[in-house]
Amino acid sequence: MYFFLNNDWSVEPRVALRWAFSSASSVNFGYGLHSQVVLLPIVLGRVRLSNGTYIQPNKDLGFVRSHHFVVEYDWLFAPHTRLKTEVYYQYVFHAAVD
């Protein structure tokens, strides 16, 4: 991903693995590194200083990044009936806070 306003870029790898216990059940594992651009009104916002000049303090904000982890169990217990359960975890970092 590339953001032209501050020349920030990121690589976002993703991987998924499936382990089948039998033809009717499996466990799936997934991981992804995701990036998100901060909203443009925040990046382009201006602040007026006491001397009357304006600055853009958020112009160089980078991406908000997050690791996503998923574990899923899939069980086909009848010809047209399936049970899927999923556990999901997200870790957010490089998030701007006030």
Supply the pLDDT for residue 55.
Answer: 92
Distance CA 95, CA 98 (A): 10
Which has more pLDDT, 98 or 97? Answer: 97
Whether residue 46 lies inside any domain: the answer is: yes
**Residue closest to 65 by CA, chosen among 84, 40, 46, 93:** 93
Distance CA 26, CA 86 (A): 12
Residue range of the domain that includes 61 = 2-93
Residues in a beta bridge with 3: 8
Supply the pLDDT for residue 48.
Answer: 93
**Residue closest to 68 by CA, chosen among 41, 33, 97:** 33
How many domains is the chain built from? 1
Whether residue 15 lies inside any domain: the answer is: yes
Whether residue 57 lies inside any domain: the answer is: yes
Dump pLDDT digits (tens) for 2-61.
887 777 888 999 999 999 999 899 999 999 999 998 888 888 889 999 999 999 888 888
Whether residue 98 lies inside any domain: the answer is: no
Rounded mean pLDDT of 66-80?
Answer: 95
By DSSP bridging, strand 8-9 and strand 2-3 are antiparallel
